[in-house]
A and B are shown apart, each in its own frame.
With several copies, the nearest count.
Chain A
Amino acid sequence: MPRKMRYMLDAKDLACERGERRLFSDISLALKPGGFARLLGANGSGKTSLLRILAGLTRPAAGEVLWRGEKLGDIAEGYGREMLYLGHAPAVKDELSVAENLMFSARLSGIAASNDQCRMALEALGIGNLAPLSARVLSQGQRRRAALARLALAVPLPLWLLDEPFAALDENAISRVRALAEAHLARGGMLVLTSHQEVPIAAGNTQTVNLGV
């Protein structure tokens, strides 16, 4: 019980199997408000798999993930209202404009953002001028930025799970994302991310999970 109360996100003794092969086992991770965890490991070590387990997308082969003391499977959409997961597929639809994309994905996370707020979120990522363009014409980095603009709207969501958020971004974009992450942590949010790039993020409480080779 005490552990439940102290940690918002509490992952205990997780193990993951892929194609009959055990990727990792006995991985534990616990976050309080303001906590930041960085997942490290070589290519293929299981960082993405771990993040998907934390997001409730994949079932762990062993162990369990608790959010506010409850098991993930039992809370379903309740968790979705408090957690933002960004995988490496940007979830940006070619057929919609950049602004429409952002608006719909914010609503999907339960955030009713006005047009102005969407605009400002895009500006926070430096792509305000692209808002009316069809997402089809975006460059690789612009597409990632369009996906990351969700972060600027996700202020009410306490937990962010980000998979390689800095890949394909230029320096300017990296520092913008970093600023968003630090602001999130400063206001008591929690953040788990994977990144091969060494981007320092200031947090009161940082932990590192190393999945090895």
Chain B
Amino acid sequence: MFSNLFNFASPQAFYPVAGRMISWFGWSAALLGVAGLYIAFFVAPTDATQGESYRIIFIHVPAAWMSMFLYLVMAGWAGLGLVLNTRLSGMMASALAPTGAMFTVVALVTGLLWGKPTWGTYWVWDARLTSELFLLFLYLGFMALKEAIDDPQRADRAGAILALVGVVNIPIIYFSVQWWNTLHQGASVSLTRAPSMAATMLAGMLVMALAAWMYSIAVSLARVRAIIVAREQDAAWVRSGTR
């Protein structure tokens, strides 16, 4: 009964749609990125206590958000594939993982660079930092597991199980600043409270976050197209060049 509802989930139907969407998202990402960086480096004022170094926030925070968000999306696709046995879901999860891992690395590296001037050290073993590091390990584990299994269908299902189990790490990252008292600061952007930072800073961060979002969509779509072609080599529609 799901067959109609999830008709778009066939790789064949999805391939051309994805092709058309990529450029839209790609251009939006570029434009938003330029705008965000402009706000970050030219509009936003110098911070009273941290000087210029605080500007890392415009990359750090969106990257950290994306790293967690993409994991949830990836796990969502993976779970969908496990339940409904749709081929496309596993490919989507595979396509999202490298981008998620990339944002995790960015969050870690910008955090490291920021830590030196503010905390006086690159790295401390605090709960937020450590759980973010383990998010990276989860992404890497997901990719390693998929890489290690020959049969793509089996790899999809095994990867999905891992991704779903790893979801427990996300609340740990997010709430770690509340659960343990750490060096890292707590959430300052919240839906329930008035933001505690300058409006331009907030705007810059949100624009950068949107850019990251668009970028993720564009890159994942491009990657999923490549995966579709690689996996469906035998399928007639690929060979006949309908793409």
Contact = CB atoms under 8 A, between A and B. Distances in A.
Q: Do chains A and B touch in the complex (CB under 8 A)?
A: yes
Chain B interface category by residue count: under 10
Contact of B233 (A18, A20, A134, A137): A20
Contact of A137 (B150, B152, B232, B234): B150
B231 interface: yes
Chain A contact surface mostly:
mixed
Interface of B: 150-152, 231-234
Chain A interface category by residue count: under 10
A197 B152 CA distance: 35
Nearest to B152: A20
B152 A134 contact: no
Contacts of B232: 20
A78 interface: no
Nearest to B231: A20
Chain B contact surface mostly:
loop
B150 A134 contact: yes
Nearest to A21: B234
A20 B151 CA distance: 8
A136 B231 contact: no
Interface of A: 18-21, 134, 136-137
Contacts of B150: 19, 134, 136-137
Contacts of A18: 151
Give the top 7 A-B pairs by smallest Cβ distance, nearest first.
Answer: A20-B234, A19-B151, A134-B150, A136-B150, A21-B234, A20-B233, A20-B231
Contacts of B151: 18-19
Contacts of A137: 150
12 contacts: A18-B151, A19-B150, A19-B151, A20-B152, A20-B231, A20-B232, A20-B233, A20-B234, A21-B234, A134-B150, A136-B150, A137-B150
Contacts of B233: 20
A97 B210 CA distance: 46
A59 to B, nearest CB: 8
Nearest to A137: B150
B230 to A, nearest CB: 10
A32 to B, nearest CB: 31
A19 B234 CA distance: 10
Nearest to A61: B153
Best-buried of B231, B232, B234 by chain A (most CB within 10 Å) = B234
